[in-house]
Homo-oligomer: A and B are copies of this chain.
C-alpha cells in the first residue's frame, strides 16, 4: 500500500535542499532526488515551479517562527520568559549553529528582490516583536529598538561566522552574550543562604 503524499509533506525536504544549495543551486534534479518525487508530482504540487517551491519554504519558516518566536514575544505576560524562550528556540531551530538561515541566504543573493516582501517581513516582525518584549522589560523605546535590531542582526552574523570559521559553538557563545547583555542577570542564591 502506497501512502499518497500531499503538498505539505514535501516542504521539509524542499526546505533542506534550498538551505543547503541556495535558490540557484537547488536544481529540480536535486529536489527530485531529495523529495523522492518526479517532476510530474513536483509540478502538480507547485504549478509555479521552483519559485513557488521557494515561497512555500519561506512561508513554512515564517509560520514556525510566528508560532514559536514572534507570537510569544508579543503576547507572553512575562517578557523575560519570552526572550529566554526566543533564544532557546533560535538555538534549537539553527541546530546550535549547524544550520543556516535560508532567509538570510536569500537576502544576500540576487534572489532577494524576487522574495523581498517575505524576507523583509520575516526580519521586520522579529525585530519589532523583540522590541515589544524589551519595552515590557522597562527599556525605553529607542533603547529597545536598538537592542532588538542588534540581536536580530547579531543572530545572522553568528550564523555566518560559525559557518565561515567552521565553529558551530561560536553560535551558542554569541547567543549567550546577547542574552546576558539584554536580560537582568539571574540572581543566583547559593544554597544554605
A: residues with CB less than 8 A from B are 20-22, 24-25, 100, 103-105, 107-110, 112, 116, 119-120, 122-124, 127, 146, 149-150, 152-161, 163-166, 170, 173-174, 177
Whether A108 contacts B105 by the Cβ 8 Å rule is: yes
- The residue of chain B having its C-beta at the shortest distance from the C-beta of A25 within the complex is B24
- The residue of chain B having its C-beta at the shortest distance from the C-beta of A146 within the complex is B177
Q: Could you say which of B21, B155, B160 contacts A104, with CB atoms under 8 Å apart?
A: B160
Q: Which residues of B have CB within 8 Å of A21?
A: 24, 109-110
In the assembly, what is the distance between CA of A120 and CA of B163, in Å?
A: 9
Q: Could you say which of B24, B107, B158 contacts A153, with CB atoms under 8 Å apart?
A: B158
Q: Which residues of B have CB within 8 Å of A122?
A: 164
Since A100-B108, A116-B166, A156-B161 are in contact, a sample of 17 more A-B pairs with Cβ atoms closer than 8 Å, ordered by chain A residue number, is A21-B24, A22-B24, A22-B110, A25-B109, A107-B163, A108-B108, A108-B163, A112-B164, A120-B165, A120-B166, A122-B164, A150-B154, A153-B158, A153-B160, A156-B164, A157-B160, A160-B160
Whether A104 contacts B164 by the Cβ 8 Å rule is: yes
22 residue pairs of the A-B complex, CB under 8 angstroms, read A20-B110, A22-B108, A24-B25, A100-B108, A104-B108, A104-B160, A104-B164, A105-B109, A107-B160, A108-B163, A119-B164, A120-B164, A123-B161, A127-B165, A146-B177, A150-B154, A152-B161, A153-B154, A153-B161, A156-B164, A157-B157, A157-B158
